[in-house]
Structure 1
Amino acid sequence: MKILFAASEIYPLIKTGGLADVAGALPVALRKKGLDVKLIMPAYQGILEKVAPIQKSINLGNPFGVGDLLLLETHIPENNTPIYLLQCQALYEREDGPYVDRNGIDFKDNHIRFAALSWATATLALHGNLIDWQADILHLNDWQTGFAAAYLESWKVKHLPIVTTVHNLRYNGSFDMDQFSDTFLSTELLSMHGMEFYGRFSGLKAGLVYADAITTVSPTYAQEILTPEYGDGLDGTLRAMSEKLVGILNGVDYEQWSPEVDPLIAQQYNTDNLKQKQANKLALLQENSLSEDLNQPIFGVVSRLTEQKGLDLILEVMPNLLDKGARLVVLGSGDKQLESGYLALQDKYPEQVSVRIGYFEDYSHRIQAGIDALLIPSRFEPCGLTQLYALKYGTLPIVRQTGGLADSVFELTEKANGFVFADASKEALQAAMERCMTCFHQDKVRWQALQKNAMSYDFSWEAVTDQWETLYKSLLIDK
């Protein structure tokens, strides 16, 4: 099977969140299984330096009046995955991030930038003769590529089956109606059963209503988004299409995320020499000039600093646990008020708290290897990847029971691998953290058993590729 996989970010070329990790790893795992997968993504500033030399350039013209769209054929050197980069200087070559400017404000022309990516994706899916390779399946990811389904619908031609994966329903890519004409899409699509969204138009809704299959990144999240609480205004649309909705838990690339082979950590280890994890703990404390008492637990946060992630709850409960000797290491950025709150906590407890604003891939590996427990008190969590990384490193996640967290972290089972709480409240989080501290201090046998359980779970991409292959095949049979 030939799969055209479209995404707005792909690791290791560019990353702002979990979408990049998935888009960078799932196609590689599918290719290992024998599927013929090619990627498409914008050629953001600096991207061409990270790929192999361009093999071919295809001029797709200037359909949006902002300059020619060039399709550059190359591959990602790290894994040899073929990729088409969409180059347009006016749209993509900016010094800031892929979506927002240096002040964190969405680019005003995002609707054009990702309509162009979607148009090129739809064109490539329909006209494989452009690259001498005709896809069987078009796999879209989130709102930035959802417009591709709308283009194929508006062109009123027979086309290949479409899969749309929702990584986070809250980011629906909706825009004012007065911007719709910039996309050159047909106004026939602007109905409540089309891509109209509460008086606006939405790239994600287009990807949902015009797809042949909708996937989410965990089974529990697939059920949650059918409810008003988690549906973000799309629950009615999703309930109407629930027969084509499936949840497949994200995986982990263990070639990148495993303490047995990780070159970025102080000391490699596995379940047979778990004591070596202590060397990583000491190195993390020393790197951050924190108290080097190995007999006290280190809690960690590697996350976007947003209310969705429950990061405000940690600020409320942490002082009480710090007063009992715990330490906290934080890596992330986002809400300025939360950033200030964590920096203030660091100022108050300089020997126990370390906060770095931003994201540094190497450092995130050292955190996972060095901390004892990872905090993820999310109000909702489509999948979550950091808890999957933590498990492999023998770092016990403390999670709220929602979305992919509920599908991967368990406390009251024979193969318990972390600590779980139900309510998105400071009381529930504090109780779970105190259970963790009690176990750490008073039951070393159980603590080590939890660590070994955690490391024994297989959340590799290889473990879920069968589900993806089955889904793709079902769509071809239906056609």
Structure 2
Amino acid sequence: MMRILFAASEIYPLIKTGGLADVAGALPVALRAKGHDVKLIMPAYKGILEKVEAIHKKTNLGNPFGVGDLILLETRIIENDTPIYLLQCQALFERDAGPYLDQDGTDYVDNHLRFGAFSWAIAMLAQHGHLIGWQADILHLNDWQTGFAAAYLKSWKLNHIPIISTVHNLRYNGSFEMNRFPDMRLSSELLDMHGMEFYGRFSGLKAGLVYADAITTVSPTYAKEIVTSEYGDGLDGTLRAMRYKLHGILNGVDYEQWSPEKDQLISQAYSIDSIEKKCANKLALLNENKLPEDPSTLLFGIVSRLTEQKGLDLVLEAIPALLQKGCRLIVLGSGDKALESAYLALQQQYPNQVSIKIGYDEAYSHRLQAGVDALLIPSRFEPCGLTQLYALKYGTLPLVRKTGGLADSVFETGEQANGFVFEQANAQALKEAMLRTLACFEDINAWREKQSNAMAYDFSWEGTTVKWEQLYSSLLN
């Protein structure tokens, strides 16, 4: 039994902007099911206290940053009974907009201080468990928002517990202008090229990488990609030097949440043995989107942030050829304003074939996964991707670019073919893959075979958790 302090800036079902929240909401639960003592820590954003049990205990950590007391609230997540510490500081975390961006969609100007204070509290708990009556054996950090914790532990020059730092997306490096560094209460000794200095700035992600005992990414292929200049986002040199401690572990899926047999959010439950019932979800989704209820035409779907990273500009170039052949498209997402506008314009141009919903809606994303025939994920890079793993379980065939976790989970050929794959990040390669998808869809036996293969894959956390246990144990030993 290991005691693990798991730190993340977002955790489902309390708050979610992306895949980090899904992982932080599921991996600790899976580890606890294996008998480990896992406790979570996250900021107490506005409205979070309404989503947890009544507070069991409060611990005042003082006012080290001069913005108000940092108060640790001990409670549990109601849905899965997982213990969680919420860091409360009204000035830093109780904002009306999201966890990272203001109402205009720009980074809060004090994000360095917000997540510096959060990281300081994480480091305090990791080092001084007596404050809360529980001493962790392992500290597991996630992304740049927690990376500063490794820097605090380094700067305190004390023996500390082993640190794992997981990179969910290298592009978000949490770097800030040097004139903000004095706010951090960190030693300037850490500001060199072998430390947390990053092209004349200081970076929370780099701190997490260089001061951790192990670095993990969310898929084996992404771990290989990020040591190259093409995918390394300026950190490839650092990562090549640290290859000895770099591991790629593919994310898992919580099939209690994402399974067409158990999903309470979809119109019609179905399984690998009753795959024909999936059609009822397609008809319901078409009806909801006021599109003609014709199950015989191929329905593509997208659930994504609308960004160039996700390759969604390529879809705009490739899709007209498919729409001219009668295919349809349903999109759920938000992000780049120019892309949002372009997708809405596409809907205006093809009102009987295209439906666009700007924003994010968890229940609707389930209905979309169950209702579409094929899910488009043409990412230029993709650390893991969870939507393709969800799609597979729903018998919704993913069409992906061969990169990162997509390359580790979706295969077009071979006995276990479960989707469609293209290699070059351009619209022509995507269009050709979409035409292959259409040809397969028109051959019902070939389509059913791929659907059966897809639904048979098991990406549950149970198998993934074994790899985490092995990594944790290796650090403790």
Q: 1:206: which partner in 2? A: 207
What is the SS of the residue equivalent to 2:347?
helix
Q: What is the alpha-carbon root mean square deviation over aligned residues?
A: 0.4
Paired AA for residue 270 in structure 2? Y
Paired AA for residue 394 in structure 1? G
Q: 2:346: which partner in 1? A: 345
Q: 2:146: which partner in 1? A: 145
Deviation per residue, 1:313-353 (Å, 9 max, x gap) = 00011111111111100000000000000000001111111
* Corresponding residue pairs, total: 476
Q: 2:32: which partner in 1? A: 31
What is the SS of the residue equivalent to 1:144?
helix
Q: 1:266: which partner in 2? A: 267
- Following superposition, the deviation at residue 102 of structure 1 comes to 1.1
What is the SS of the residue equivalent to 2:305?
coil
What is the SS of the residue equivalent to 2:230?
helix
What is the SS of the residue equivalent to 2:133?
coil
Q: 2:164: which partner in 1? A: 163
- In 2, distance between residues paired with 1:380 and 1:34? 35
- Whether 1:405 aligns to 2:406 is yes
What is the SS of the residue equivalent to 2:474?
helix
- Following superposition, the deviation at residue 476 of structure 1 comes to 0.4
- Following superposition, the deviation at residue 130 of structure 1 comes to 1.1
Q: 1:439: which partner in 2? A: 440
- In 2, distance between residues paired with 1:437 and 1:56? 57
Matches within 5 A, 1:38-187: 38-187=39-188
Deviation per residue, 1:357-383 (Å, 9 max, x gap) = 100000000000000000000000000
Paired AA for residue 182 in structure 1? D
- Following superposition, the deviation at residue 412 of structure 1 comes to 1.2
- Following superposition, the deviation at residue 35 of structure 1 comes to 1.0
Matches within 5 A, 1:369-380: 369-380=370-381
- Following superposition, the deviation at residue 160 of structure 1 comes to 0.2
Paired AA for residue 281 in structure 2? N
- In 1, distance between residues paired with 2:414 and 2:198? 42
Paired AA for residue 398 in structure 1? L
- Following superposition, the deviation at residue 131 of structure 1 comes to 1.2
What is the SS of the residue equivalent to 1:230?
coil
What is the SS of the residue equivalent to 1:38?
strand
- In 2, distance between residues paired with 1:73 and 1:41? 11
What is the SS of the residue equivalent to 1:330?
strand
Q: 1:426: which partner in 2? A: 427
- Following superposition, the deviation at residue 292 of structure 1 comes to 1.2
Q: 2:3: which partner in 1? A: 2
Q: 2:463: which partner in 1? A: 463
TM-score, normalised by the number of residues in structure 2: 1.00
Paired AA for residue 418 in structure 1? G
- Following superposition, the deviation at residue 293 of structure 1 comes to 1.2
Q: 2:189: which partner in 1? A: 188
- In 1, distance between residues paired with 2:272 and 2:223? 33
Q: 1:252: which partner in 2? A: 253
- In 2, distance between residues paired with 1:456 and 1:293? 27
Paired AA for residue 197 in structure 2? E
Percent of pairs identical after alignment?
75
Paired AA for residue 350 in structure 1? P
- Following superposition, the deviation at residue 95 of structure 1 comes to 0.5
- In 2, distance between residues paired with 1:79 and 1:353? 38
- In 2, distance between residues paired with 1:174 and 1:472? 28
What is the SS of the residue equivalent to 2:267?
coil
- Following superposition, the deviation at residue 103 of structure 1 comes to 0.9
What is the SS of the residue equivalent to 2:294?
coil
- In 2, distance between residues paired with 1:188 and 1:72? 33
What is the SS of the residue equivalent to 1:228?
coil
Q: 2:449: which partner in 1? A: 449
Where structure 1 has 5 or more consecutive residues not aligned to the other structure, the ranges are none
Matches within 5 A, 1:271-350: 271-350=272-351
Paired AA for residue 458 in structure 2? D
- In 1, distance between residues paired with 2:241 and 2:463? 30
What is the SS of the residue equivalent to 1:333?
strand
- Following superposition, the deviation at residue 391 of structure 1 comes to 0.2
- In 2, distance between residues paired with 1:76 and 1:280? 31
- Following superposition, the deviation at residue 42 of structure 1 comes to 0.2
Paired AA for residue 64 in structure 2? P
Q: 1:226: which partner in 2? A: 227
- In 2, distance between residues paired with 1:413 and 1:463? 23
- In 2, distance between residues paired with 1:34 and 1:446? 43
- Following superposition, the deviation at residue 418 of structure 1 comes to 0.1
- In 2, distance between residues paired with 1:317 and 1:169? 28
Paired AA for residue 332 in structure 2? L
- Whether 1:240 aligns to 2:246 is no
What is the SS of the residue equivalent to 1:304?
strand
What is the SS of the residue equivalent to 1:318?
helix
Runs of at least 4 residues off by over 2 Å: none
- Following superposition, the deviation at residue 474 of structure 1 comes to 0.2
- In 1, distance between residues paired with 2:29 and 2:361? 23
- In 2, distance between residues paired with 1:65 and 1:276? 59
Q: 2:415: which partner in 1? A: 414
Paired AA for residue 257 in structure 1? W
Q: 1:197: which partner in 2? A: 198
Paired AA for residue 451 in structure 2? Q
Paired AA for residue 292 in structure 2? S
